[in-house]
Amino acid sequence: AQSVSQHNHHVILSEAASLELGCNYSYGGTVNLFWYVQYPGQHLQLLLKYFSGDPLVKGIKGFEAEFIKSKFSFNLRKPSVQWSDTAEYFCAVVSGSARQLTFGSGTQLTVLP
Amino acid sequence: NAGVTQTPKFRILKIGQSMTLQCAQDMNHNYMYWYRQDPGMGLKLIYYSVGAGITDKGEVPNGYNVSRSTTEDFPLRLELAAPSQTSVYFCASSMTGDREKLFFGSGTQLSVL
């Protein structure tokens, strides 16, 4: 069965700091990978996704993620965070044998002004 | 744009009571889902539906039932509420051509005491 691990439960950064949130998955075959975000008081929404091709994927609001197959990782990055990036971030995976998204446990990001 | 609408937003139940969480979407999406979110555990899929009249179990279906009589509505039924069902419940939908891009509702906070 596929699974997703997010090892950072809570990350606190100051504005302008660089961000990297870890995501590792357990399935060895073809995978589709996603990052979802939930801003305070808002619905969960898709931030970016990887299906195939260029392993560096760019999403909304300056976020990007890199798929590294050898490390089973799909880490989320942003060069310079803003206070408005405070949110909970979820990594998710769909593998070839599964039909539905499997979500990680989430990482709460707090950006201090 | 209404999107995915969930009601109620909050509910407190006594052990053994039953209730229905309502979910409606106005985007004509074929796929609909119910997730529960427990602290530090991410989102777990309870049930999903690929179209009217078709439902299937997810990862944690025990204690719940669903129906999908129309494309728009996907209610979740708790028959005998238990403290283990205290959680935040999210309904989501997606379209056939982009299944993994989920549109989420705002969630229902349920406490079973």
Determine the longest span between alpha carbons in chain B, in angstroms.
Answer: 42
Catalogue the E-assigned strands of B26-75.
31-38, 42-51, 54-57, 64-66
Q: How confident is the model at residue B6 (pLDDT cuts 50, 70, 90)?
A: very high
Q: Copy the structure tokens of residue B73.
A: 């509505």
pLDDT at A3: 85
A18's CB contacts (< 8 A; 6+ apart) are: A77, A78, A79, A80, A81
Please tell me which of the candidates B40, B101, B105 has its beta carbon nearest to residue A46: B101
Catalogue all structural domains in chain B, each as residue range(s) with its CATH number.
Answer: 4-112 (2.60.40.10)
Name the architecture of domain A4-112.
Sandwich (2.60)
* pLDDT at position B99: 84
Write the pLDDT tens digit of every residue in B76-107: 999 899 999 999 999 999 998 888 889 999 99
Nearest by CB: B41 against A34, A100, A105: A105
Identify from B54, B100, B103 which residue to disrupt to test chain A contact, counting A C-beta atoms within 10 A and taking the largest count: B100
- Closest Cα in chain B, distance from residue A7 (Å): 11
Domains of chain A, residue spans: 4-112
Q: How many CB atoms lie under 10 A from the CB of residue A53?
A: 8
Of A45, A90, A94, the CB nearest to B42: A90
Query: B106 to chain A: which residues are within 8 Å by CB?
Result: 43
User: Which stretch of A45-54, B19-28, B94-103 has the lowest confidence by average pLDDT?
Assistant: B94-103
Which residues in chain B have Cβ-Cβ distances shorter than 8 Å to A104? 42
Would you tell me which residues 31-90 of chain A have a C-beta closer than 8 angstroms to some C-beta of chain B?
32, 34, 36, 43-46, 49, 90
